[in-house]
Amino acid sequence: MSWNKDVAIQHLRTRAGGTSSSHCAQYTREAIEAGGVTLARTTHAKDYGSSLISAGFREVPPGSTLWAGDVVVIQPYPGGNPSGHMAMFDGTTWISDFRQRTMYPGPGYRRTNPPYKIYRMH
């Protein structure tokens, strides 16, 4: 199945709000699906890695240059949202259910730097 990352990114851009609505995984998954790839649904954002792999995405080695369409899955941090986080890079900005300042979606993530993996469709 072919994936159109430009359609996915545009879908995400048009739906994202100015602040989080706590639906990062839903918005990111729906954008990926708008681009033509169906993901198996998971309850938590932190668990989407295997779904992305099954759909044809591959893990990007740490330190790699980011590409538009890359998807990050971030693990939760102590005291934060237990679901973790998921977002897509549009070439300039990380977007989930809102336009993020950095890959980490909030101050708790930026302070604790929890583990994450970046996935790319090949």
1 pLDDT exceeds 70?
Answer: no
DSSP annotation of 17: B
**pLDDT tens track for 26-36:** 999 999 999 99
Could you please state the CATH topology (level 3) that the domain comprising 5-121 is classified under.
Answer: endopeptidase fold (from Nostoc punctiforme) (3.90.1720)
23 pLDDT exceeds 70?
Answer: yes
Cα(77)–Cα(107) distance, rounded to whole angstroms? 11
Q: What is the mean pLDDT of the chain?
A: 95
Read off the pLDDT of each residue in 48-65 and give the average, rounded to a whole number: 96
8 A C-beta contact, residue 41 and residue 71: no
Task: Determine the pLDDT at residue 122.
Answer: 83
% of the chain exceeding 70 in pLDDT: 99
Cα(109)–Cα(7) distance, rounded to whole angstroms? 28
